[in-house]
Amino acid sequence: MDKNELKRFVCDYLDAHREERIQAGETLLRMPELAYCEQRTSDFVGHCFANSELTEKTGLAITGRRADVDTGRSGPRVAILGELDALIVPQHPFADATTHAAHACGHHAGLNAMLGCAEVLTRPEVLSHLSGSLAFIATPSEECQNQPYIASLIEAGKLQFFGGKSEMIAEGVFDDIDVAMMLHAGGSNFTPSGFNGFVMKRLIFHGKSAHAGANPDKGVNAISMMRSALTLMDAQRDTFRDEAHVRLHGYIPEGGEAVNVVPDRAVFTLQVRAASPEAIQDASDKVDRCVKAVAIAFGGETEVQNIFGFMPLVAYDELDDVHQRNVETIAPGAPFTRGIYRPSSTDMGDVSMIIPSLHGYFRGFAGTAHTDDFLITDPQQAYVDSAKMMALDAIDLLWDDAACGRKIAALKCPMDKQTYLEKMRGFSSCLKFGEE
Ligand SMILES: [Zn+2]
Ligand SMILES: [Zn+2]
């Protein structure tokens, strides 16, 4: 068999098992679970792995799992990732009635693509032509929702990071991985040029309560402090360079409890996103200074709790080239776009900091991600062609003594694991301003 014949075998196999793929995807769609609670989804993945010759590890970053197969010949270890978690979208037609979790980001389809790869690439007819090895990794918690639960796990020492992939990096799950790949659901086929990373910040304003009508002069209004800090932050926007793609956005989880009491406490939770760790640090420091300033201005106290979220994603052109060629084979004539920057974030960014990685998008969905209308319009594209794309990418990487895989594995990454973990931990801090 030459490489094209092997690729044809893989595509024909996935087409012949089309109904199984669609059924698996639809099953996952109907069991949406939130970050670090994806136990049923993880069990389903384990059930699918059980059909193949795979060595499995479970309980990674709580609900994650990894299954490996070795060709018996030397070469790089290629990881194919699928994401387990859903997010809270109560109005979504497939939302869970109790938790309101829904696959409004299409992770069920990306996960299904990984399962399709695990099934077809472990066939002896395929493995016998490849070198190196493959790891199929189901990763928890990408959406960065379920915050109170994640915070409780971090506080209890069961977890260090929001992102499942970050947690897995810390646990050593990626230590022996040379190239990592995953695909995400979307409306078209493309690979972005990068993603923003972010730090998660909790700004706490401590004022002093008083009767709001009779003697507000005796109080320190925590909402006024917060409003002033937000105004100062807005004024900083001028100072962010365009290429840094800075985003500051958040919400107010606490802002007083009664109309006739000067609020003594207000909390603003925000994400600071940017295109590089340095730009994240710069924007984050500016926010901290704004919070410090209002403590002085109002004579109150303020606090900033910082936890690092995700690293920015760097794209690897050589890997995107491999992927583009395969997508164009599977979807001839369909547009394939490259080079568009995504100011949103993914914890695949964390993986891309230390391992050459692919984060591509496959079509088959319509609507807006994270909302109730994000739904599959083409099951073949969403559930079957997505698996073909990554399976063909893996063949290119591991064919011919894994020559292509070895070349991509040798590409330079922005940092090593040690530096990555130091940076992540270095961002976490608790700052206090104002009088004791
Ligand atoms: Zn999402
Ligand atoms: Zn997503």
Q: Residue 200 has what pLDDT?
A: 93
Q: Which ligand is nearest to the CA of 348?
A: 2
Task: CATH number of the domain at 253, please.
Answer: 3.30.70.360
Task: CATH number of the domain at 156, please.
Answer: 3.40.630.10
Q: Give distance in angstroms: CA of 16 to centre of ligand 1.
A: 31
Q: Residue 51 has what pLDDT?
A: 78
Longest dimension (CA), the chain: 87
pLDDT in tens, 19-32: 999 999 999 999 99
Q: Which ligand is nearest to the CA of 83?
A: 2
| Whether the Cβ atoms of residue 389 and residue 183 lie closer than 8 Å to each other | yes
Residue-by-residue DSSP string for 330-361: HSTTS-EEE--EE-S--THHHHHHHS-EEEEE
Q: Residue 436 has what pLDDT?
A: 61
Residue 196 scores a pLDDT above 70: yes
Looking at the fold, whether 170 and 306 belong to one and the same domain comes out as no
pLDDT in tens, 119-146: 999 999 999 999 999 999 999 999 988 8
Task: Assess if residue 427 is contained within a domain.
Answer: no
Residue written as token pair 């694991």: 417
Q: Residue 53 has what pLDDT?
A: 81
pTM of structure = 0.95
Q: Residue 21 has what pLDDT?
A: 98
Output the CA torsion 412→415→416→421 (10° steps). Answer: -160
Residues in Cβ contact with 318 at an 8 Å cutoff, skipping those fewer than 6 apart = 356, 407, 408, 411
Residues with CB under 5 A from ligand 2 (ion): 105
Residue 147 scores a pLDDT above 90: no
Host H or E run for residue 422: helix 417-427
Task: Assess if residue 424 is contained within a domain.
Answer: no
Looking at the fold, whether 21 and 108 belong to one and the same domain comes out as yes
pLDDT in tens, 241-268: 999 999 999 999 999 999 999 999 999 9
Burial class (CB within 10 angstroms; exposed 0-12, middle 13-18, buried 19+) of 119: buried
List the structure tokens of 155: 């506080």
Looking at the fold, whether 165 and 225 belong to one and the same domain comes out as no
Residue 37 scores a pLDDT above 80: yes
Looking at the fold, whether 114 and 238 belong to one and the same domain comes out as no
Pairing of strands 313-314, 194-195: antiparallel
Share of the chain above pLDDT 90, in %: 95
Task: Assess if residue 267 is contained within a domain.
Answer: yes
Task: Assess if residue 423 is contained within a domain.
Answer: no
Host H or E run for residue 48: helix 39-49
Looking at the fold, whether 253 and 164 belong to one and the same domain comes out as no
Q: Give distance in angstroms: CA of 21 to centre of ligand 2.
A: 20
Looking at the structure of the chain, the number of domains it has is 2
Task: Assess if residue 432 is contained within a domain.
Answer: no
Q: Give distance in angstroms: CA of 153 to centre of ligand 1.
A: 21
Q: Residue 332 has what pLDDT?
A: 94
pLDDT mean across residues, the chain: 96
Residue 78 sits at φ, ψ, to 5 deg, of -100, 125
